[in-house]
Amino acid sequence: MIETAVFPSEFFDITKSDWGDIDKKSNRRKREEIAAKIKTSIAKMVNYYKIAKFFSEVGNTKKVQKQFEKISELMKDIEVTLEFIHHIKSHIINWFEEKTKSNPALVLKDEELKRAKEVLSRVEEISRKMKVDTNKIYLSNLRLAVTVAKKYYLPNVEFLDFIQEGNIALARAIEKFNWRKGTKFSTYAVPWIRQAILKVVNDTIHPVRMPGT
């Protein structure tokens, strides 16, 4: 994707904020600029990680922390989204399965396939950890939906419907939350929950569907 500069805007927050409708053919030059930036940043991150690994082996934790701070800054700069990570995971899996479909034993001989298998194993491990951590955040913040729902509760509406809409918005907020910006998650999530619940209120009190805010 980076080599060809062909990628949907939802994969990178930077394309939404800086370039707008990046998907248009006329915006290829802009996509190439972003692709070059991403490619350079990833190369630097790999290098910083290698340096951090060396310092870790010799027990210099301060230098390790410094390298990871540099990595964090680069990640903040290009702002890769969860959608992109999931897409890349699917892309690697599909490529790997296609390559090994006719000859599963090929993976033992082909160095590229061996490396892909290692990457997939690592990605699966990260994916499992992300699911556990995401679920932990979700369960820890379920009371937010209840708190907001109480403020806008209507007697003729099932209270559980309000909470359900709030919980859906909470899950969406977790997906979009960017911890690097220094905002508390609860502060970020409340507007998402409020908007979802107000939509239910709007749909309930107006006989004719009114546009949401």
Amino acid 18: pLDDT: 54
CB atoms within 10 A of CB 42: 15
Would you give per-residue pLDDT tens digits along the chain (213 residues)? 666 666 655 555 554 555 556 566 667 777 777 778 878 888 898 899 889 989 988 888 888 888 988 887 887 777 666 666 677 777 778 877 887 787 777 766 777 777 777 877 887 787 788 788 888 888 888 888 888 888 877 777 677 878 888 888 888 888 778 776 778 888 889 999 988 888 877 777 656 555 555
Token pair listed for 93:
């899996």
Token pair listed for 156:
């003729």
Burial class (CB in 10 A: 0-12, 13-18, 19+), 10: middle
- At residue 12, φ and ψ (nearest 5 deg) are -135, 120
Amino acid 5: pLDDT: 65
Amino acid 51: pLDDT: 92
Amino acid 123: pLDDT: 76
Amino acid 210: pLDDT: 53
Domain ranges of the chain: 1-80, 81-132, 141-205
DSSP 25: G
Task: Say how many residues make up the chain.
Answer: 213
